[in-house]
Amino acid sequence: MFAFIKKYFQPDHHFESINKIDSKILKESKIEGLIIDIDNTTMPYSSKEMKVIVSDWINKMSDENFKIIFVSNTVPERAEFVSDYFDKPAYGYAAKPFKFAFKKAIKKMDLSNDRIAIIGDQIFTDILGGNLAGFLTILVEPIESKDFFLTRIFRWFEGLFYDRNKRLMQKE
């Protein structure tokens, strides 16, 4: 029973950072849409500073015609900032891993779930939610170690389901 449940906490891919994800992997999996987390995936939790390497990667994916939507449990103001920065839809207070915001993103992208990848830094929100929705799931390491206090607690529990160090893929 535990093994059956544990599979929902396993990402399909795991990278050091979002900019290490090669679009070839996405295209080989027939992915056309990307749902991207905000806090500690797109930008540090503690600031609105956008790392150039992350910004460049997101713009490159957009240039390669991937549909991009940001879905995050962050406050709506941070989601609006990211939406304005990239000129892409962004949803805050998404309540991941529940499907509410995912459904809005799927409808907006007009893609089937198997054509969408979710990229995020948390097992219990991004990966679990993505696996339940039938997305390709990609775990990235957090941009910084500072987190929301509940996230710090969840990160400890993540170790029960997934060994981040053992499964990290530098190159695929």
Specify whether the CB–CB gap between 49 and 78 falls below 8 A. Answer: no
Tens of pLDDT, residues 86-125: 999 999 999 999 988 899 999 999 999 999 999 999 888 9
At residue 2, does pLDDT exceed 80?
A: no
Tokens of 52: 């150039």
Instruction: List phi, psi (to 5°) of 123.
Output: -70, -50
Query: Which residues does residue 136 pair with via DSSP β-bridges, in sequence order?
Result: 117
Share in percent of the chain as helix, strand, coil (round to 5): 45, 15, 40
- The model carries a pTM of 0.85
Task: Enumerate the domain spans of the chain.
Answer: 2-167
Overall CATH class of domain 2-167? alpha beta
Distances, alpha carbon 44 to alpha carbons 78, 135, 152, in Å: 11, 24, 14
* Residue with the larger pLDDT of the pair 149 and 36: 36
